[in-house]
Amino acid sequence: MDQKTITKLSSPPDEDAEVLVSQPETPVSQRIRARLRNARERFHANDNIARFIEPGELQQLLDEVEVKMLGVLESLVIDTEGDHNTQDTARRVARMYVTEVFRGRYNPTPEVTEFPNVEHLNELMIVGPITVRSACSHHLCPIIGKVWIGVMPNEHSNLIGLSKYARLCDWVMSRPQIQEEAVTRLADLLQGRMQPDGLAIVMEADHFCMQWRGVKDTDSKMINSVMRGSFLKDPNLRREFLALLQRRSA
């Protein structure tokens, strides 16, 4: 979801939160949280909160996560001082979460150049497979898979460069979430950007919360799709899109 369309909360602003915003000695996570609450903005795991983070605060957030991650390692009875392999693990994990695997929460939407549909293109376009990486919000285990995007433009649609699909996919997927919601978020973003007659997205992914733990099934994958506009209304177009995907996968 674009940071401009973060879902509003229904609860009133928090008076305590207003105080926290103005106190620089308050932990940075609490200051950011206070701004979100004052604005009555939602901050679920898969929401983008970039516009509530001030310059320099992302580094402070990384430092705070490092301290708390060190506490987790200590609670797991790991000797981070004596064990040379885990002496810097808290820092590495904090950097991984804030600047890599969850960066879609903390960074604004990537810059995407849009072009007018001068030639009035109105034929099916398919982009993919795009490799995507996310994380299950239940266990913070990796979700790794591929995305295919089908677009049916019209003369008023904005067209974007091929690499920009991958950038937008990465921005949406780099958050803790469930696959069903991730695909819907991506569809909302592309629909708003391009305004096509039809949009179709299919995602197939491995879930390490199922492979690494629990039932430890390494063969199961999850496949889901979102169909909008003409892909939803026209069964022939939908069949053409799915058939082309099957042919590419064969």
| Weakest-pLDDT range from 84-88, 110-114, 185-189, 228-232 | 110-114
Residues 6 or more apart whose Cβ sits within 8 Å of residue 204: 145, 146, 221, 222, 223
| 218, 230 Cβ separation under 8 angstroms | no
Average pLDDT, the chain: 89
User: Does the pLDDT of residue 14 top 70, yes or no?
Assistant: no
Residues 119, 243 share a domain = yes
Residues 223, 101 share a domain = no
Provide the domain count of the chain: 2
pLDDT of the residue at 137:
95
Note the pLDDT tens digit of each residue in 143-178.
999 999 999 988 888 888 889 999 999 999 999 999
224 phi, psi to nearest 5 deg: -145, 165
Residues 165, 74 share a domain = no
DSSP structural state of residue 231? H
Helix (H) or strand (E) holding 177: strand 176-177
User: Judging by beta carbons within 10 Å of its beta carbon (0-12, 13-18, 19+), is residue 81 exposed, middle or buried?
Assistant: exposed
Question: Where does a domain end: 86, 106, 126?
Answer: 106
Tokens 């067209």: give the residue.
Answer: 159
Residues 52, 144 share a domain = no
Two tokens at 200? 């179709």
Q: How many CB atoms lie within 10 A of CB 226?
A: 20
pLDDT of the residue at 246:
82
| 185, 175 Cβ separation under 8 angstroms | no
Residues 170, 62 share a domain = no
Domain that holds residue 244: 114-249
The whole-angstrom separation of Cα 239 and Cα 120 is: 23
Q: How many CB atoms lie within 10 A of CB 66?
A: 20
| Weakest-pLDDT range from 15-24, 34-43, 208-217 | 15-24
Alpha-carbon Rg for the chain, nearest whole angstrom, is 21
pLDDT of the residue at 154:
84
pLDDT of the residue at 214:
83
Helix (H) or strand (E) holding 166: helix 162-173
Residues 125, 102 share a domain = no
Question: Where does a domain end: 106, 135, 162?
Answer: 106
CATH number at residue 206: 3.30.1130.10
Residues 46, 122 share a domain = no
Residues 31, 122 share a domain = no
Residues 121, 201 share a domain = yes
Residues 231, 205 share a domain = yes
Tokens 């899109």: give the residue.
Answer: 241
Note the pLDDT tens digit of each residue in 134-143.
999 999 999 9
Question: Where does a domain end: 52, 78, 106?
Answer: 106
User: Does the pLDDT of residue 18 top 90, yes or no?
Assistant: no
pTM, rounded to two decimals: 0.85
Note the pLDDT tens digit of each residue in 95-122.
999 999 999 999 999 988 877 676 667 7
